[in-house]
Structure 1
Amino acid sequence: MRIYLVGGAVRDTLLGRPVVDHDHVVVGARPDELLAEGYRPVGKDFPVFLHPQSGEEYALARTERKTGHGYHGFAFHADPTVTLEQDLARRDLTINAIAQAQDGTLVDPFDGTGDLARRLLRHVSPAFVEDPVRLLRVARFAARFAPLGFTVAPETMALMQLMVRQGEIDHLVPERVWQETRKALAEAQPSAFLRVLREAGALAVLFPEVDALYGVPQRAEFHPEVDTGVHVEMVLDMAARIAPGNDVVGFCALTHDLGKALTPADALPRHVGHEHAGVKPLQGLVARLKVPTEHAALAELVCREHLNVHRALELKASTVLRLLSSLDALRRPERLGLFLAACEADKRGRLGHGDDDYPQAAYLLRARDAAAAVSSAPFAAQGLQGPAIGEAMAAARVAAIAHLRQSIA
């Protein structure tokens, strides 16, 4: 039995990045040998075990054979005769196909260390095309490693484009598309996820609502970058800067301007009413990918209300209260923080505006606190009951917000 550290732990150690998960491959062993040593089996499709002390994953070396379409269309073979090189050969990228022996020696049959130095995301073998999830994974790794200068190897991009043309990507299940997208939105440069998918031709298949934004012009005096697709990329990266690792804010950034793709050609580059027009395509995307409820709800609020937030300092106090109430911000202040992060990302995600101040966020946070400070107790003491208390509290909250606005004028 020989045990090797594999995958992300080896890659990230070589890159000097923090290691999150330690995965191991076991060569020359049978399941009963690991069971005898106290390992706990967890794999359904192939033998994976958890270490009795550390809880880290140990998988028997295995090979795989394509048997059908999609992520599940594989047959796996694991026995003591499968070599480490055979196991590494089934992996997606060379930088993920490096193993480390227990004495620290690296096993690198596909020159993953060379690709780390060259900053290349390159496939291990032509079998890459057999699993459509790999296309999403490459785009996600691009989002993670783009700040380090990584790009997709031309020959790998050619395979990804082939996967789209041959329809292999059509067999991706919505849950897996969302899983990879959610991870990408939490990476350091999520715009790279969109660019890689778009170059491969996959963005139009998986996210047609987003793909449709490219080439749609905006008014240059407000959007010097002009192209709406480029703007969305900038907003995504600004969201990653303002709320690092938060995929809820990232999803709001991704979908906030979907309505601009629906603007009539004769109205361009103006986009009157795009914030409301974007709700329907957003709802379609959410339903298709089975996006979680909270992501969907907050994204719809950002889509519909982001222009109101940008002009928050000009809004009537009653409108501000309505906005806060639509967010349920009085009971859930953390939700307001996420909402404002996405709106700020939109405002600053424009060419030349990345370091702009966004006082609207501070104002709305203070307005929320002022409104939340209004209590029902004084009105109950006055003898008010039922709806009358609610009406009195609403009026008092409007007055509190109006007073706040006057104090900072």
Structure 2
Amino acid sequence: MQRYLVGGAVRDAFLGLAISDRDWVVVGATPEDMTAAGYTPVGRDFPVFLHPDTHEEHALARTERKSGRGYHGFVFHTGTDVTLEADLARRDLTINAMARADDGTLVDPYGGRADLDARILKHVSDAFVEDPVRLLRLARYYARFAPLGFTVADETMTLAREMVAAGEIDHLVPERVWAEMERALMGAEPQLFFHLLRATGALAVVLPELDALFGVPQPVQYHPEVDSGVHTLLVLSQCARAEASLAARYAAICHDFGKGSTPAELLPGHRGHEERGVAPTDTASARLGVPKRLRETARLITRWHTHLHRIDELRPGTVLKLLEAMDAFRRPERLEDLIAVCAADVRGRLGYEDRAYPQADRVRAALAAAAAIDGAALARRGLAGPEIGQALRQERIRAIAAAL
């Protein structure tokens, strides 16, 4: 019975990156051996155990055989006869297929260390095509490591495109897609995740609403980058630069979905894209299994983002309508997500990356002024029922007018 540190912990140590968690593979043991040694079983699909002291995951060495389509289409085999090399062979990329023994010895049968030095993301074997999640993981690793100089091997890109052409990624389950996308969105360069998916053809399957934006023109005097898809990923990049929340980053992806269905006679303008974008945003959120809070925020930001851009042109009553639509009095964080996306929307254009966004302070001032109106004081005037609501609204409109 031997254990080996595997995967990301070995990789990141070579790259000098912080190690957030450590995974282990155990060779030459049975489940009974593990429980006898005090480990706690937790695996559902294959034997995984928690160390009695560190609680780190220790999986028995295993092989896998393709038995169907998609992520769940595998039969796993574990046993004392499964070698470490056989276990590493089933991993996605060579840089993730290294192991280190307790005595420090590196086990690297597939050239992961050389690929780390060459800054190459390369598949371990042609079995890469058997699991559609691997394509999403490839995109996520590219988004994480491209800033360090990593590129994807040509042969790996070829395999990824073959997966798409064969319909393998059609069998992705929503929770796995969202799990990978969520991790990518919270990275420093999340736009690279979607660039890689588009380069393989997978974006049209995973997120067709975003893929549809590429090639759709915008007025060049406002959008020097012209292309709506390029603009959307620039907006996402600006959200990451500002360290915006996950809700804001997801909404940034969705906010211009309506431009994908703009009537040809309106192009390159996109009048009404806000309303048109609500339905595809809801469709994408449902298909991806996006959490309710995030999908609601994305829908609202898609519908209302241009109102905030034009706050200086809006009547005070319309500003109040915006605040009410965003539920800003109860959920001020939702207004902050709107501000983050709108500021990124302005800066997500070539040459506008450092443009100021004074609308942010103005809408915050409007919310503060409206929220300061005391509804209880109105009730003490003798107002009752609907009269209180009507009076509160009028007082808030006056306060917003004064604040603006």
TM-score by length of 1: 0.96
> Which residue pairs with 1:66 in the alignment?
66
Letter in 2 for 1:33: D
TM-superposed CA distance for 1:102, in Å, is 1.4
Task: Determine the structure 1 residue equivalent to 2:28.
Answer: 28
- 1:352-371 → structure 2 map (5 Å cutoff): 352-371=351-370
- In structure 2, C-alpha distance between the alignment counterparts of 1:315 and 1:265, rounded to whole Å: 29
How many angstroms apart in 1 are the aligned matches of 2:396 and 2:106? Answer: 65
1:233 aligns with 2:233: yes
- Segment drifting more, 201-210 vs 141-150: 141-150
Contact 1:243 1:249 (C-alpha < 8 Å) held by counterparts: no
Question: What's the offset of the Cα at 1:90?
Answer: 0.5
> Residue 48 of structure 1 aligns with which residue?
48
* 1:75 aligned residue: 75
In structure 1, C-alpha distance between the alignment counterparts of 2:176 and 2:158, rounded to whole Å: 22
Distance in 2 of aligned mates of 1:97 and 1:361: 47
Superposed counterparts of 1:380-395, under 5 Å: 380-395=379-394
Query: 1:282 maps to which residue?
Result: 281
Partner of 1:402: 401
Percent identical pairs in the alignment equals 58
Measure the CA separation in 2 of the matches of 1:380 and 1:138: 60
Render the CA deviation track for 1:346-396: whole Å, top value 9, x for unaligned: 111111111111111122122212211111122122111122112111111
**Partner residue in 1 for 2:257:** 258
Aligned to 2:321: 322
Task: Answer yes or no: is 1:350 the counterpart of 2:349.
Answer: yes
Q: Which amino acid aligns with 1:39?
A: Y
- Measure, in 1, the Cα distance between the counterparts of 2:311 and 2:55: 50
Deviation at 1:123, TM superposition (A): 0.5
Q: Which runs of 5+ in 2 are unaligned?
A: none
How much has 1:265 moved relative to structure 2?
A: 2.1
* Structure 1 Cα separation of the partners of residues 145 and 394 of structure 2: 51
Q: CA deviation at 1:42?
A: 0.5
Aligned to 2:160: 160
Report if the CA contact (8 A) 1:257-1:278 is conserved.
Answer: yes
**1:12 alignment partner AA:** D
Match of 1:204 in 2: 204
Which secondary structure does the structure 1 equivalent of 2:49 belong to?
strand
* 8 Å CA contact 1:220, 1:226 repeated in 2: yes
Q: Distance in 1 between matches of 2:113 and 2:319?
A: 55
RMSD: 1.3
Partner of 2:57: 57
Q: Distance in 1 between matches of 2:355 and 2:396?
A: 30
Structure 2 letter corresponding to 1:42 = V
Q: Which runs of 4+ in 1 moved over 4 A?
A: none
Q: Hey, what's the Cα distance between the residues in 2 that align with 1:102 and 1:82?
A: 19
Q: SS of the counterpart of 1:5? A: strand
CA contact (8 A) 1:317 1:398 kept: yes
**How far apart are the structure 2 equivalents of 1:148 and 1:361?**
34
Whether the 8 Å CA contact 1:259–1:278 is kept in 2: the answer is: yes
3-state SS, counterpart of residue 115 of structure 1: helix
Residue aligned with 2:362, SS: helix
Question: What corresponds to 2:141 in structure 1?
Answer: 141
Query: In 1, distance between residues paired with 2:120 and 2:361?
Result: 42
State the match for 2:290 in structure 1. 291
Instruction: Please tell me whether the aligned partners of residues 11 and 98 of structure 1 are also in contact (alpha carbons under 8 angstroms).
Output: yes
Letter in 2 for 1:334: E
Secondary structure in 1 aligned to 2:87? Answer: helix
**2:189 corresponds to:** 189
Report if the CA contact (8 A) 1:243-1:341 is conserved. Answer: no
Query: 2:384 corresponds to which letter in structure 1?
Result: Q
Unpaired stretches in structure 1, ≥5 consecutive residues:
none
1:278 alignment partner, SS class: helix
CA offset at residue 31 of structure 1? 1.1
- Alignment partners' CA distance in 2, 1:270 and 1:136: 33
**How many pairs align?**
404
What amino acid is the match of 2:368? D
